[in-house]
Structure formats: C-alpha cells, structure tokens
Amino acid sequence: MGKIPRVKIWVAGAGGSLGKSLISTLESKGINPILAPTRADLDLEDQDAVFEYVMKNKPTHVFHLAAKVFGISGHQQHPEESLIINTRIDNNIFSSLFESPPEWVYYSSTVAAYGYPYLHLPLNEEDFLQGTPHASEFGYATSKRFALNYLQMLHEIKKTKYVYGLTTNLFGSGDRFLEGRGHVVISLLEKAKQAKRERKQLEVWGSGSASRDFLSTFDAAALIVSLMDKQVGVVNIASGQEIPISEIAEYIVEAFDIEEGFKFIGINEGITSRVCSTRKLSMVTDLISKIDSRKVLRAEIINFAKNND
C-alpha cells in the first residue's frame, strides 16, 4: 500500500472487536485522522444524525463495520429484527455517502450471505449471489447482500472505489460474550470458565461434525487495511484454513485443564462445513500467505485461559 495523502477515515462500528483491531492497525501505520464515534456519540439508526455527521466530517475513506449481530441462536429467533435493523443502518450510512461521496469504502459483509446449499467448497466469490442464504442466518445475510447494491451504485455514479468483504468467522481478545449470540470461539471460552469452576464437561453446540474457516480480528484488520484505495469489489476476507469445532474444543479443554472433557449437545447445528477460497484475496494482497489461523487461534486460547485461571 502506497502513501495515502490527506485522508480522513471514518470507522463505523469502531467499538467491536474488528473495529478495535482495525483502529490499532491504522494507528500503527500512521494513518490518521480517524473518526471513531461510539454509539453514544452517533446512533447509526438515526438517519438525521448520520446525515449531519457525514456532512460535517466529510470522510475520504469509510470502513463500514457496523452491524447488529445476534449469532446463530439470535438470528434464528429474530430474523426480521436482524433484517430491519441492519438494513436501516446501511440505508442511513449510504444515503449520506451519496451526498458526500468518499474516495473509498470498505463494507464488512459475511460469508453467511452465500447461497446455500453451496455450489462449491471452498466458497468462491463468483458464486456469491447464487441461491439464497441458509435459513439460520437469512435475515442478517439478506440485509448484507442488499448493501452490495449501494456500493455498486456509489461506484458507478460517484466513482467511489469499494471493497465488499465477505468476512469469515472471526475470533479475538476484544470479543464480547453474549449468551447464545457471541462468536463461536469466545462463547466456548466463556463456557469453559464456568465448566472449570463447576467441574463439569464443556458443552458444545452441534453434533461434532461442523468446521469453519477462522480468522483473527488482527489478521482481518491487516488484510482490510492492505486493500485501502483499491477497487476490489466482492472478496472473501478469510484464512482459507478449515478447522473443526471439535479441534477447538480440544484446545480449550487442554488449556483450561478440564478433566471432564467436552461433549456435543446437538442443538443449533447450523451449517456443517464452511471454508473460503482466498485465491482472489491473494491477487490483491500478499499478506494472506503469512497467516496461520490455527497457530494464532491456539495462542489466543492459551492466553485467555491463563488470564482467567
């Protein structure tokens, strides 16, 4: 990435795990100023407030990471709420950006937006809009799909470059635990703390057959920043490394020294296997070749266990 002159960056969704990692990465590269309003500063569901904020600050580069995420259980229970809230957030942001167009936008979508059943594994970007998303994540995934239309029009009408990132399963120390709604790794880590205290088995959702493509938030942030000012379009932000949930459970049980082990309890099975192609990503950044998600994940688990002993 070359030197970027006179930037003013807006990170929408800066309070999340990815947002914090992204800001840290930008700051480490000396890229500033960075606008990172909290929800108390700016309610993204308030159209007038978002419009006023954009008109006042006129960001040149936007990292749109903001979303209402419920997790597998939450998305199944409230698909309509996820669809409505996330569409509202996107509409407020993009309608404002059409009035004050930035030079470049990164939009954080999700691999859950791929059509299911999958045409191929690993998931390829050219198959992105084939079929409809899995029922367990339909509302959230549909809202994310629609956002691509905003980006395409912003590019065609206002000449704004964009990256529509299909983000895989993330993990990181900044994750928050929300019962039934957190990311897979942090949810298992928090459950492990309780299992250790109560001297019980670690209970894991599903049947034991599931696997995912995992990526740390810091690796994701590095990849995203490396794409600044590039017209990439739709691209997987992933590791391309498939890790079984059972393997993660084994790491956690070992790190916490849970003598009772773990067991799969069969609920919230979701999609069995999901791994992403990183072929297109490797064509626009060389950072992907340096990522080892399995190694980073294990280190993250060990560190979490030590700090919660």
Minimum mean pLDDT among 45-59, 116-130, 150-164, 200-214: which range? 200-214
Residue holding tokens 């600044």?
228
For 153-204, the pLDDT digits (tens) are 999 999 999 999 999 999 886 655 444 445 688 889 989 999 999 999 999 9
Most confident residue range from 45-59, 69-83, 203-217: 45-59
Would you state the pLDDT for residue 261?
96
Would you state the pLDDT for residue 4?
45
Contact 258, 203 (CB under 8 A): no
For 68-104, the pLDDT digits (tens) are 876 655 556 667 898 999 999 999 999 999 999 999 9
What are the two backbone dihedrals, phi and then psi, of residue 16, each rounded to the nearest 5 degrees? -80, 175
| In-domain check, residue 35 | yes
| In-domain check, residue 297 | no
H or E segment to which residue 119 belongs: none
Would you state the pLDDT for residue 72?
56
Would you state the pLDDT for residue 178?
41
Average pLDDT, the chain: 91
| In-domain check, residue 278 | no
Domain containing residue 117: 9-171+215-239
Other CB atoms within 10 Å distance of the CB of residue 179:
11
Count of structural domains within the chain: 1
Other CB atoms within 10 Å distance of the CB of residue 267:
12
Average pLDDT over residues 207-232: 95
Would you state the pLDDT for residue 212?
92
Distance between CA 172 and CA 158 in Å, rounded?
35
Would you state the pLDDT for residue 71?
60
For 258-298, the pLDDT digits (tens) are 999 999 998 776 678 899 999 999 999 999 999 999 999 99
Would you state the pLDDT for residue 208?
85
CATH number at residue 22: 3.40.50.720
The pTM score is 0.90
Would you state the pLDDT for residue 76?
64
Which is nearest to 73 in space by CA: 225, 255, 265? 265
Would you state the pLDDT for residue 172?
82
| In-domain check, residue 15 | yes
Average pLDDT over residues 46-66: 98
| In-domain check, residue 105 | yes
| In-domain check, residue 62 | yes
| In-domain check, residue 253 | no
| In-domain check, residue 235 | yes
pLDDT reading at 2 higher than 50: no
What is the helix, strand, coil percentage profile of the chain, to 5? 45, 15, 35
What are the two backbone dihedrals, phi and then psi, of residue 58, each rounded to the nearest 5 degrees? 45, 65
Q: In a 3-state reduction of DSSP, which class is residue 302?
A: helix
Would you state the pLDDT for residue 73?
58
Where is pLDDT greater, at 249 or 73?
249
